[in-house]
Amino acid sequence: MRAKVDSKRFGPWALITGTSSGIGREFARQLAASHINVVLVSRRQTLLDALGTELSRDFGVKHRVVVADLSDDGFIDGLADATRDLDIGLVVSNAGSGNPGMFLDKNREELAITLRLNALAHAELALHFGHKLAERGSGGLLFVGAMGADAGVPFMADGAGAKAYVQSLSLALHEELKARGVYVTVLPPGLIDTPVLAKFGLVPQTMSFKPMKVDQCVAEGLNALAANRAIIIPGRMNRLVRAILPATVTRSMMMKMLQKLPAIANPRPQLGRQ
């Protein structure tokens, strides 16, 4: 499944964070397939270089690699310098971290890194590139949140809490920037078939319900942005569950499910990021 994105409205360049794997990589691929040049942002240069070469070969687009850790203070200055000469019409703010575990087992440094990466980085991207998009009078901001984050997710208290901020930020900007010609959409996915599942000790082949394919998730997000929808929860079943189940029931279900996972029952002292 692949979205077709209007390169006149959202081009000629798109910037995507967290592009070394998973959802970010697929965003880059679908945008390149729509003949939009891509700025690939992540911490892992080798993976970014390989992806950029692949996209330029397969779709004939230009690419630029920017190595950055979005949990670092001041990352936005380096990113601004690296893209100053580009006409960026779309920013996909996707970088984030899912670090399962008991909140009381976290340390202050881990909490701070998670909050900077999962919340503050999105705000800084929105502030810098929002000005530029508003000045050009067209383009879009697409934020990747997390399904259920606004209701609270046990064993993901800090990470999901930060993603709840992203959802609120995006919904507000959708209204604020509408008159300036800038489209804003938030995409809160549920379980997606990406390497992030391994952090939870999940193996897609053994799960009782199958996680969504990453290409469907990304296509639904891009199609929603093209229609300037404020929010899109990818997957019809996810939307149905969200509409029917109260937040209290959802939290209880998540508690029972997550506490059985290896990453929760047998935690490792590790902070992984995209």
Q: Which of 66-80, 148-162, 172-186 has the lowest mean pLDDT?
A: 148-162
In the prediction, which pLDDT does 274 show? 45
Reply yes or no on whether the pLDDT at 265 is more than 70: no
Domain ranges of the chain: 7-265
* CATH T-level fold of 7-265: Rossmann fold (3.40.50)
Reply yes or no on whether the pLDDT at 272 is more than 50: no
In the prediction, which pLDDT does 156 show? 87
Q: What angle do CA 120, 271, 103 make, to 5 degrees?
A: 80
Reply yes or no on whether the pLDDT at 5 is more than 50: yes
Name which residue leads in pLDDT, 56 or 205. 56
In the prediction, which pLDDT does 197 show? 61
Range from 97-111, 203-217, 252-266 that averages highest in pLDDT = 97-111
In the prediction, which pLDDT does 269 show? 53
Cα distance between residue 118 and residue 149, in whole Å: 12
Give yes or no for a contact between 139 and 86, defined as CB atoms under 8 angstroms apart.
no
Cα distance between residue 105 and residue 88, in whole Å: 41
pLDDT > 70: percent of the chain: 89
**Average pLDDT value for residue range 207-226:** 87
Q: Which of 130-134, 168-172, 188-192 has the lowest mean pLDDT?
A: 188-192
Strand order from edge to edge, sheet including 140-144? 63-67, 37-42, 13-17, 88-93, 140-144, 183-187
How long, in residues, is the chain? 274
**Average pLDDT value for residue range 22-50:** 96
**Average pLDDT value for residue range 249-266:** 75
Name which residue leads in pLDDT, 72 or 99. 72
Facing residues of 143 across strands?
Answer: 93, 186
